[in-house]
Amino acid sequence: NSKLRHVEKDVLIPQIMRDRAKELCSDKVQAFTKCCQETGLLMVVKCRQENTALKDCLVGYYSDPSFYEECKAEYLKQREEYRATGIKKKRQKLTPSV
């Protein structure tokens, strides 16, 4: 049964999308984080370019219908495994290379 509840469509699948987009945009996340750490209180002004690049990357994924379908399929697979086993699987996070 692949029918989705409200919470699945509006909360759980978007959470997978956010996590995956952060992983896929990790270079921009790192650049923005590094800029913020280096500039302190002036980050609003000094890190504008890094912030824009990060937002553009994330929004690009959030607004991509095929990316939504990919994340929905991942969620349905996790839900099916959970229903079959009763064991909730944690998403593996990519570790950023330093």
Domain range annotation of the chain? 6-75
Q: What is the pLDDT of residue 76?
A: 94
Q: What is the pLDDT of residue 92?
A: 54
**Model confidence, pTM:** 0.77
Residue scoring higher pLDDT (61 or 84): 61
Q: What is the pLDDT of residue 98?
A: 42
Q: How confident is the model over 58-73, as a mean pLDDT?
A: 97
> How far is Cα 55 from Cα 28, in angstroms, rounded to an integer?
9
Q: How confident is the model over 2-27, as a mean pLDDT?
A: 94
How many other C-beta atoms can be found within 10 angstroms of the C-beta atom of residue 75?
A: 19
Q: What is the pLDDT of residue 42?
A: 85
> How far is Cα 71 from Cα 77, in angstroms, rounded to an integer?
10
Is pLDDT of 68 > 50? yes
Q: Supply the mean pLDDT for the chain.
A: 89
Is pLDDT of 95 > 90? no
